[in-house]
Homo-oligomer: A and B are copies of this chain.
Amino acid sequence: MTIRFALLGAGRIGQVHAKAVASNPQAILIAVADAFEEAATALVAEFGGELRSIETIAASDDIDAVLICTPTNTHADLIEKFSRAGKAVFCEKPIDLDMGRVKACLEVVDNTNATLMVGFNRRFDPHFIALKDAITAGKIGEIEMINIISRDPGAPPPEYIKVSGGIFKDMSIHDFDMARFLLDEEIETVMASASVLVDPEIGALGDYDSASIILTTASGKHCAISNSRRATYGYDQRIEVHGALGLVSAENQRPVSIELANADGYTRPPLHDFFMTRYIAAYGAEINAFIGSLVSGSAASPSGQDGLASLLIAEAALKSVKEGRAIKLADLS
């Protein structure tokens, strides 16, 4: 069985996914759509397939699944269109920045019985999977507290900030999903504090660049998240999970593992400086998992509901900052 793919959006992340499809013996890239034809042509030359318009793809009988890698503001519309067209859909996060729009979109997915997987790639990182496996195997007993430190090497440009949905929906949302993935229990309340410490322009746009967040579950488990739009030493991505029997942690990844010792001390090189380099294995594994779920008929995960759940936490975090109080998710949704 071979899953026949169309790719919507031939940009940076589209190329990564095209490569994953081309490398998977159970998948083939049939069509690519991008308003910017040159990008689509180059991608086709490298990974196969042909150029088609989005409309043509939706009407194509030889397409089983689509990968939505277009700008965020097109996601919900495209999910609905291809759900209705009977295609399995993989969509980069977020579905939409507006909760109402996401809910409406997921209703269409539901009604059309479509398959939808949302691109929370970090769930597929081999190190975080090993972390999850250790938890599942009972190595740390019942989870008590999770600590996530997640910092970008540098702040994105103002143009991006403007359409990003803000730090919680754009950046922290990955950590919210990771917290949900690891906790196996839904978040009940959210407390957050946020500041502008990195770039005043981010503040001028009404956003924050530094945030501390505490998520609490009904049973009293905590997850503390530290986010910053700046880290001079690279892309800082650490998770540790404390439980009744022990602690399991995932360390940062480094491009090379050498160390130099001299009169100044012992120095190792900085971390990866780009999320696509850091998570390169995760991106590949994510698409393989999508293909695997289509081949086997098992549920695609993370689902649209997972996307919605983390978006809700992001809304709560912002509300907590604005109102200076703990927000119960039940009061929001």
Contacts and interface: CB of A to CB of B under 8 A. Distances in A.
Interface of A: 25, 46, 126-127, 130-131, 134, 139-140, 142, 144-145, 147, 149, 151, 189, 191-193, 195-198, 210-212, 214, 216, 220-222, 224, 226, 228, 230-233, 236, 242, 244-253, 255-270, 324-326
Give the 3 A-B residue pairs with the shortest CB-CB distance, closest first.
A195-B220, A246-B262, A325-B325
Contacts of A270: 261, 263-266
Contacts of A267: 264-268
A187 to B, nearest CB: 11
Contact of A258 (B25, B134, B212): B134
Given A147-B147, A265-B268, 16 more contacts: A134-B260, A142-B197, A144-B198, A145-B212, A193-B326, A197-B220, A212-B222, A212-B224, A224-B226, A232-B245, A232-B263, A233-B262, A246-B262, A250-B258, A266-B269, A325-B325
23 contacts: A126-B256, A127-B257, A144-B198, A147-B149, A147-B226, A151-B242, A189-B193, A192-B214, A193-B216, A210-B222, A212-B222, A224-B224, A228-B242, A232-B263, A233-B247, A233-B261, A246-B260, A247-B262, A251-B259, A265-B269, A266-B267, A267-B268, A325-B325
Nearest to A257: B251
B212 A262 contact: no
Contacts of A210: 144-145, 220, 222
B233 A130 contact: no
A245 B226 contact: no
B249 A263 contact: no
A63 to B, nearest CB: 25
Contacts of A247: 231-233, 236, 260-262
Contacts of A46: 25
- Which of A142, A195, A198, A262 has the largest count of B CB atoms less than 10 A from its CB? A262
Contacts of A255: 126
A210 B236 CA distance: 26
Nearest to A195: B220
A34 B326 CA distance: 47
Contacts of A211: 222
Given A233-B263, A242-B151, A222 B193 contact: yes
B220 A196 contact: yes
Most chain B CB neighbours (cut-off 10 Å) among A149, A212, A244, A324: A212
A255 B250 CA distance: 12
Nearest to A230: B244
A269 to B, nearest CB: 5
Given A189-B193, A242-B151, A259 B263 contact: no
B258 A127 contact: yes
Contacts of A258: 127, 130-131, 134, 248-251
Nearest to A129: B256
Contacts of A260: 134, 139-140, 246-248
Contacts of A127: 256-258
